[in-house]
Structure 1
Amino acid sequence: MAGRTAGGGTLTEDAGAAAGTGEEPMVKVRGLRRSYGTGEGAVHALRGVSFDIPRGELVALKGRSGSGKTTLLNLVGGLDEPDGGSVVVDGRELSGLGEKGLLELRRDRIGFIFQSFGLIPVLSAAENVGVPLRLRRAEAAEREERVALLLSLVGLADHARQRPGELSGGQQQRVAVARALANRPALLIADEPTGQLDAETGLAVMELLRAVVRSERVTVLVATHDTTLLGLADRVLELSDGELTEQ
């Protein structure tokens, strides 16, 4: 799929209306700009970035350290506000949602996975996975069924009662993946999810994300610096000097 720099233009012309299906893309980014600081010392993290992510795709985001990958993920996930441009997730433009709307979107439609795992040490694996369900006040029976299903999906059914400190790094990241899926999100955002893992374990986690795309039809945007893992993505977007190219 041919790509070009995205300095204000679209990549792949709306991604062929979501890969030729006519379906609305899960993510539509147009002319996104974000800077830090002012004057000559300003850092332009993003310079008019535009792209689409069709539903059900795993898209990898690559770039050197400090290239703006995390900034872009935060903007797509509604954790930060751009200086200009727009982000539409699941048909909703983030700038028009307000803080309450963004909170609901992040709770119900977006799952996050971070390099640091972010698990609660005093809770078991099952309890960690169940946290999002408790926050939305799901019934106990529904919560237990969903947690059991997710732990089975990530291969940790036999570790439900163990706390994070009793699990390996790869197992902890699998718990984090299960937790991110608890509320059946439409979009999964992962920021260097294999950064603290060895190569073999990191590959296993990426293969898990690939399987999740198929089994739960989740759209995944994952930032990674590991070139070995990029081959598992449907597409690769590269950030360079605040602009985006597609490979």
Structure 2
Amino acid sequence: MTTQPSHSPASAEHPDDAAVIAPAERDDPLVVVQGLRKVYRSGPKEVVALHDVSFEAYPGELIAIRGRSGSGKTTLLNLVGGLDRPDGGHVVVAGHSVTELPEPGLLGLRRDVIGFIFQSFGLIPVLSAAENVGVPLRLSRTPAAEREERIRMLLSMVGLEKHTNQRPYELSGGQQQRVAVARALANRPRLLIADEPTGQLDSQTGRQIMQLLRAVVRSEGVTALVATHDPSLITLADRVLELHDGALVSPSTPRTVATDGRVPG
């Protein structure tokens, strides 16, 4: 199947804002990555971060991306999410060419289609849990009543309905990451991108967060790309993509990963 790039025009309601992104067909792969290449340059020196990476990801699928530090996991997620530009290859998300969209289109894609979860949580310290979750909804100009109901539902989904008014410093690391998950889901994204979302958490809390992501994938029908090096968390994925020195190793199942005796760094 050939996925055609799509460029959405700016919304008449938001003429000065990012382009509004229309949904893709549900039967299509949500993410198509073809021949992706990224090179970092420092003077005459070149470091190939990614080389000829190709894969597809479908709705309702949780894909773990594993590999040692420096293998290219973060670079891959940044390219899929439109946070960086590749030096070669193509990325299509929900029918839209990430590699060809101009910056307003990328802003619309990140606002309407993609939710991001980071290792460092990325919460705004002076805002409450509810206010942090509401940030994307304010940016998308969601009406106040709808916004408040969405915030309430999301915090309940992640088990924080009793912590709506607490600020990040009043929450545990696991609770902060739950707020981050809720925020990532605020605008009903089709794709979740999580870069080492359990990296700052203990093993038990990390597994709870991974289980939460798996439950969200199942209940919301979203696609999730999760970078992690923890083999105990990888077993919760539907599929595993392993990167080695920027190249994609043959995809494996969680069962294979759990029993092949290799533990990534």
CA distance in 2, matches of 1:63, 1:234: 17
Matched, 1:165 2:169: yes
1:68-217 → structure 2 map (5 Å cutoff):
68-217=72-221
Task: Give the counterpart letter for 2:189 in structure 1.
Answer: P
Q: How far apart in 1 are the matches of 2:43 and 2:133?
A: 45
The answer on whether the counterparts of 2:38 and 2:87 sit within 8 Å (CA) in structure 1 is: yes
Q: 1:223 aligns with which of 220, 227, 230?
A: 227
What root-mean-square deviation, in Å, do the aligned CA atoms of Structure 1 and Structure 2 show? 1.6
Is the 2:79–2:85 contact (alpha carbons within 8 Å) kept by the matching residues of 1?
yes
Aligned twin of 1:232: 236
Task: Please give the residue correspondences for 1:39-54 in structure 2 after superposition, counting only pairs within 5 Å.
Answer: 41-54=45-58
Distance 1:118-1:38 versus aligned 2 partners, 3 A rule: closer
Superposed displacement of residue 39, structure 1 = 7.8
Correspondence 1:4-15 to 2 at 5 A: none
Output the CA distance in 2 between the equivalents of 1:242 and 1:156. 38
CA distance in 2: counterparts of 1:74 and 1:52, whole angstroms = 16
Compute the displacement of 1:95 (Å).
2.3
5+ residue gaps, structure 2, are: 3-25, 253-265
Q: Which amino acid aligns with 1:115?
A: Q
Give the distance between the partners of 1:38 and 1:214, measured in 2 at CA: 43
Alpha-carbon distance in 2 for matches of 1:211, 1:202: 14
Q: Contact 2:70/2:245 (CA < 8 Å) preserved in 1?
A: no
The aligned counterpart of 2:18 is: none
| Deviation for aligned residue 1:76 | 0.1
Q: TM-score, normalised by structure 2?
A: 0.84
1:38 Cα offset (Å):
6.0
Q: Indicate the SS of the match to 1:66.
A: coil
Matched residue count = 229
The 1-side partners of 2:58 and 2:112 are apart by: 19
Residue type matched to 1:26 in 2?
L
Which amino acid in structure 2 is aligned with residue 242 of structure 1? G
Higher helix share: 1
Q: CA offsets, 1:102-139, max 9 Å, x none?
A: 00000010000000000001110000000000011111
**Amino acid across the alignment from 2:153:** L
| Offset from partner CA, 1:60-79 (integer Å, 9 cap, x none) | 00000010100000000000
How far apart are residue 97 of structure 1 and its match? Answer: 1.4
- Residue 37 of structure 1 deviates from its aligned partner by 1.0
Specify the code of the residue in structure 1 equivalent to 2:185: L
SS at match of 1:215: helix
- d(CA) in 1 for partners of 2:43, 2:197: 34
Give, in whole Å, the separation in 2 of the partners of 1:217 and 1:130.
22
Instruction: Flag the structure with more relative contact order, 1 or 2, with Cα contacts below 8 A and sequence separation at least 6.
Output: 1
Aligned counterparts of 1:122 and 1:38: Cα–Cα separation in 2: 38
- CA shift for structure 1 position 233: 0.3
Identity %: 71
